[in-house]
Each structure stands twice: as C-alpha cells, then as structure tokens.
Homo-oligomer: A and B are copies of this chain.
Amino acid sequence: MTISEVSKQYGLSTDTLRYYERIGLIPPVPRRGGGVRDYDKASLGWVELIKCMRSAGVSIEALIEYSRLFQQGDETLEARKALLVEQRRQLLERMADMQRSVDRLNEKIENYERGLAQKEQELRRHQAEREETGKR
C-alpha cells in the first residue's frame, strides 16, 4: 500500500505519516525499489493504533517510547504494560476534568435557557401590553 493510499484510508496527511516514521513513532516501513514506502499489515496496524491514541491526545513522546520498547522485544513486556497503564490513567484523569466542564456547561446552558425563556416571556408581555394599549 502506498503512502497516499494509507493517507486516504486513515485520514492522516502523507507529511504526518512520514513525520511519524521519522521520529520513530511508527517502526520503519518496508520499501520498494527507489526507497518508496510500501505499507504492509504490520505498518498499517501501527498507523491505526497511533491514529487512535493521538486522536485521544496521548503524547507523541509516550508513543515513541512504546514503539521503541516494542522493537526491543520480549524483555520489555513489563515496561510496555506499565506505560500503557500510565497512559490509561492519564486519559481517565483528563476525561474526569472534561466531565466536570461538561457539567458546568450543562448548568450554564440551562441558565441561558431559563434566561432566554424569561426574556421571551417579557418580550411577549410587553408586546401584549402594547397591543392592549393599541386597542384602546
């Protein structure tokens, strides 16, 4: 699979894909003649994983470390697991922050709805009064 096909498939720019490989986030992708990338199943798996993790905000630094450990083989199993556990912890923490914000937004939005409803009532009331006045 060429880089542009991968780009279309996963919605990451070719620049980003090359960048990820350059910085060691994705292990070296196999090449055809002329040094042209030809993504195999393993590379696509990395692309998919990284896309998922990045879209959730996992840092590039952590993902590089994970990739590095992975390429070092079985001796790093514990380290990799620890890294994943830590990243999960951070994600859950940030989700909790976000939930707090969502709660506040819900409150505020409700207030605005109440406020707006009140404003509308006043508007209608004033209008009704004007009409009353007009009738007389």
Question: Which residues does A use to contact B, with CB under 8 Å?
Answer: 49, 52-53, 55-58, 74, 77-78, 80-81, 84-85, 87-88, 91-92, 94-95, 97-102, 104-106, 108-109, 112-113, 115-116, 119
Other than the given A81-B113, A84-B108, 17 more pairs (CB < 8 A) read A56-B94, A56-B100, A57-B57, A57-B98, A58-B101, A77-B119, A78-B116, A81-B109, A81-B112, A81-B116, A87-B105, A88-B102, A91-B98, A91-B101, A91-B102, A91-B105, A98-B98
In the bound complex, do residue B108 and residue A77 qualify as a contact, i.e. CB atoms below 8 Å apart?
Answer: no
Dominant secondary structure of chain A at its interface with chain B = helix
- Cα–Cα distance between A53 and B98 once the two chains are bound (Å): 8
- Cα–Cα distance between A88 and B100 once the two chains are bound (Å): 11
Known contacts A56-B97, A77-B119, A81-B116; is-contact A102 B109 (Cβ 8 Å): no
- Cα–Cα distance between A87 and B108 once the two chains are bound (Å): 12
Known contacts A57-B98, A99-B95; is-contact A119 B74 (Cβ 8 Å): yes
